[in-house]
Amino acid sequence: MAIKKVIEHPAQVLSTPCAEVTEINDDLLTLLDDLYDTMVEYDGVGIAAPQINVGLRVAIVELGEERDILEMINPTVIETDGAEVDIEGCLSFPGLYGEVERPSYVKIEACDREGRVYEVEAGGFDARAILHEIDHLDGVLFDAKIKRIVTAEELEELYAEEEEE
């Protein structure tokens, strides 16, 4: 387990679709652990393998208030529904925040670290985080989906309003 350097845009690995994982082995388990350690160090809620310069379809996301870790190996989107616009940021775009429209519901299929296939459904912020990370695996970056850039001042105001509530 190690903290890796987060690769920043415009690195080619970020816009290149990732290869499917064909074998679950010690290297893959180490990758999952490294992703977790790096995500925590950089204060993210999700991270995908290309963000630490690994071109494999592997990502993790913290879900729910308990911030349970969802490990996704070879995830595929089965279903989406609804739409909502909210503010997103990305570890590979430090200081850039913007309003992005995404489905408000997602159902995915993926493998866990034991190679078991599972399905998970998520809504709201969790759906947004899952879809953001799967986009990374497809070489799709969030800056291409930004409808409006949000300034640092606007972010500070939003956080201040949330703290008052």
Which of the residues are catalytic? 133
Q: What CA–CA distance (Å, rounded) separates 51 from 134? A: 12
* CA angle at 45 for the pair 42 and 51, rounded to the nearest 5°: 60
Task: Measure the CA dihedral 149/152/153/157, to 10°.
Answer: 90
Contact call for residues 55 and 49 (beta carbons, < 8 A): yes
Task: Centre a 10 Å sphere on the Cβ of residue 95 and count the other Cβ atoms it contains.
Answer: 6
